[in-house]
């Protein structure tokens, strides 16, 4: 029987990050840039600092980096908008992540996935309360 503990969670997180890093290496993106691009495509980028638990200046630098790659434009008001290239790149990477997710847990029973989702959501909420505002 496998024991759920911090070591298992950490090893899993490291393996998943390695897969993501390999995927993002093609277009030359970091995990934080990928998240910033995803948030920009889906919501105008307004929650980058909150989502990544970073300061506004670091979130802005992520957008500047994405703009340098031609994936977003930044308006005079600071609002980021994905370019056509940015949306196309995001769609390609998103499709690849969906395929990877399917390979990893597509055959697991729905009840197990529901339980995992509830447990991880609870842990995420608790972790967020431990972080400074």
Q: Look at residue 133 and tell me whether its pLDDT is greater than 70.
A: no
The fold of the 15-106 domain, in CATH, is Arc Repressor Mutant, subunit A (1.10.10)
User: Whole-prediction pTM value?
Assistant: 0.85
Residue 77: pLDDT band (50, 70, 90) is confident
Split at pLDDT 50, 70, 90, the class of 128 is confident
Helix (H, G, I), strand (E, B) or coil at 106: coil
Return the higher-pLDDT residue of 132 and 71: 71
pLDDT band at 66 (very low <50, low <70, confident <90, very high): very high
């Amino acid at each position: 029987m496998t024991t759920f503990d911090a070591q298992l969670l950490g090893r899993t997180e490291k393996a998943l990050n390695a897969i993501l890093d390999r995927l993002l290496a093609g277009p030359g993106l970091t995990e934080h840039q990928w998240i910033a691009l995803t948030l920009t495509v889906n919501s105008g980028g307004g929650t980058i600092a909150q989502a990544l638990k970073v300061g506004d200046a670091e979130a802005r630098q992520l957008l500047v980096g994405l703009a340098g790659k031609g994936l977003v434009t930044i308006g005079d008001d600071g609002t980021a908008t994905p370019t056509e290239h940015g949306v196309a790149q995001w769609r390609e990477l998103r499709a690849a992540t969906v395929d990877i997710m399917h390979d990893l847990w597509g055959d697991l029973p729905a009840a197990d996935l529901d339980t995992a989702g509830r447990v991880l959501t609870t842990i995420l909420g608790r972790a967020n309360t431990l972080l400074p505002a």
